[in-house]
Amino acid sequence: TDPVISARDVRVWYGTTRGAIRAVDGVSFDIAPGETLGLVGESGCGKSTLGRGLMGLLPPGAKRDGEVWFDGKDVLSMRPKDAYRLRGVELGMIFQEPLTRLNPLLRISDHFEETIKQHDPGLSKDEIKQRALDALRQMGIPPTRYRSYPHEFSGGMRQRLMIALALVLKPAFIVADEPTTALDVLVEAQIVQILNDLRRNFRTSLLLITHNVGIVAEACDRVAVMYAGRIVEQGRVADVFENPQHPYTRELLRSTISLRTTGLNFIPGSPPDLVDPPDGCRFHPRCPEAMAVCATKNPINIERPTGGRVECWLVGPQEEIPEGGTRPLKQEELAVAD
């Protein structure tokens, strides 16, 4: 089947006085109908920027490049008006910060009326209410709260409201940016359940952005691992988690496991400055397996041995590695490279 959404070499950068922050730097992936792709990676690696970029929802001043194909059209080159229409009906977004998206002066009912009317102007007030109450019920919010204001809800409830608002039009593709971070464990499980129902009942496709590798294992078909603006590995969840090819994926999985069992164990070092990322592989200053080639030459994006894609010189292609490139990178070479 054809993918619902295809990102091709997507780039997003923010202009700053220090230079351009290359928050997303050449990202490609497909999502099939009814499929959920999990997007994981450390804070600041560009997940939210990518999610917003896919929707054409970047702040003014951000620049972008590449293509995002949806239903035969490139979302990134659409007129703003057409992109706006598409966003309500076919593309939905659940934001990382729900408060900034709800208008404190408007009741929940107003939010629903506004959203639904924009895209279905023919509906009566009763029909709108019926749809809204369905969406609220799905998210465990009682119908009695329909006329409440956003500030009358707890943080977790507001997040669920945002999800209900995003779901009410039953879009074909949803970006959910950390939909569970503000929520307690019970609600988290409930949301994973709802997302799963959604894809089963409506064949909704989802990009699920999260820090939580456990959620990815539970709710996603495929996973994309992002590091410093690039997707360094992607593939089927079981395959990538059981047989990670990229050292960053391995570190990420290791740090998550030990967070649960033995306490804190973050990946040593910190992500690079996206204004001036390191030459070669961006992970090389932190990579326990770095080789000489990694400090100078960008790894090539290739197919993983068991499907999916990866970019790491350990996987290959061998013939592209210069003579002597596979010797371990020495600590003192690191200092020079940076």
Give me the residues that bind ligand SF4 (CB under 6 A), please: 246-248, 281, 283-284, 287, 289-291, 294, 299, 312-314
- One of 7, 23, 220, 294 touching ligand ATP (CB under 6 A): 23
Task: Identify the residue among 44, 66, 316, 325 touching ligand ATP (CB under 6 A).
Answer: 44
- Do the Cβ atoms of 239 and 306 come closer than 8 Å? yes
What single letter denotes the amino acid at residue 331? Q
Q: What angle do CA 185, 186, 190 make, to 5 degrees?
A: 115
Q: What angle do CA 261, 263, 264 make, to 5 degrees?
A: 130
Q: Which two tokens stand for residue 137?
A: 């019920």
Q: Which is nearer to Mg ion, 47 or 131 (CB)?
A: 47
263 binds, among ligand ATP, ligand SF4, Mg ion, none (CB under 5 to 8 A by kind): none
Distance CA(266)–CA(191), nearest Å, equals 27
- Least Å distance, CB 98 to ligand SF4, is 35
Q: Which stretch binds ligand ATP (CB under 6 A): 36-44, 193-201, 281-289, 324-332?
A: 36-44
Q: Which stretch binds ligand ATP (CB under 6 A): 38-46, 153-161, 254-262, 292-300?
A: 38-46
Q: Which of residues 78-117 bind ligand ATP (CB under 6 A)?
A: 96
**Residue keyed to tokens 């109450």:** 133
Residue 208, binding choice from ligand SF4, Mg ion, ligand ATP, none, Cβ under 5 to 8 Å by partner class: none
Please answer whether residues 154 and 204 qualify as being in contact, where contact means their C-beta atoms are separated by less than 8 angstroms: no
We find the least distance from the C-beta atom of residue 109 to ligand ATP, in angstroms, to be 31
Give the closest residue to 337 by CA, choosing from 300, 297, 299, 296.
Answer: 296
To ligand SF4, the closest distance from the beta carbon of 232 in angstroms equals 7
**Applying CB under 6 A, which part among 29-37, 43-51, 81-89, 150-158 lies near ligand ATP?**
43-51
Beta bridge partners, 68, equal 7
**SS3 at position 260:** helix
The 8-class DSSP code of residue 123 comes to -
Judging by DSSP bridges, how do beta strands 302-303 and 19-31 pair with one another?
unpaired
In this structure, are residues 58 and 52 in contact, taking their beta carbons and an 8 Å threshold?
Answer: yes
Q: How far is the CB of 27 from Mg ion (least distance, A)?
A: 15
CA dihedral 44, 91, 26, 196 (to 10 degrees): 70
Q: Which is nearer to ligand SF4, 84 or 266 (CB)?
A: 266
CB nearer to ligand SF4: pick between 176 and 329: 329
- Binds Mg ion (CB under 5 A): choice among 36, 48, 205, 249: 48
The interface with ligand ATP within residues 267-286 (CB under 6 A) comprises 274
C-beta of 7 vs 136, nearer to Mg ion: 7
232 touches ligand ATP by CB under 6 A: no
Place of tokens 């070669």: 280
> According to the binding rule CB under 5 A, does residue 49 interact with Mg ion?
no
**Size of the residue set binding Mg ion (CB under 5 A):** 3
Rounded CA-CA distance 34/16 in Å is 38
- CB 105: neighbour CB atoms within 10 A? 8
Cis omega (within 30 of 0) for bond into 278: no
Tell me: does residue 46 bind ligand ATP (CB under 6 A): yes
Give the footprint of Mg ion on residues 254-283 (CB under 5 A): none
Binding window for Mg ion (CB under 5 A); candidates: 16-24, 32-40, 95-103, 147-155: 95-103
> 62-70 and 5-16: which strand pairing?
antiparallel
Instruction: Provide the token pair at 199.
Output: 């894809």
CA distance 336 to 181: 39
If contact means CB under 5 to 8 A according to the sort of partner, which of ligand ATP, ligand SF4, Mg ion, none does residue 38 touch? none
CB of 53 to ligand SF4, least distance (A): 24
Binding site for ligand ATP (CB under 6 A): 14, 21, 23, 41, 43-49, 59, 96, 274
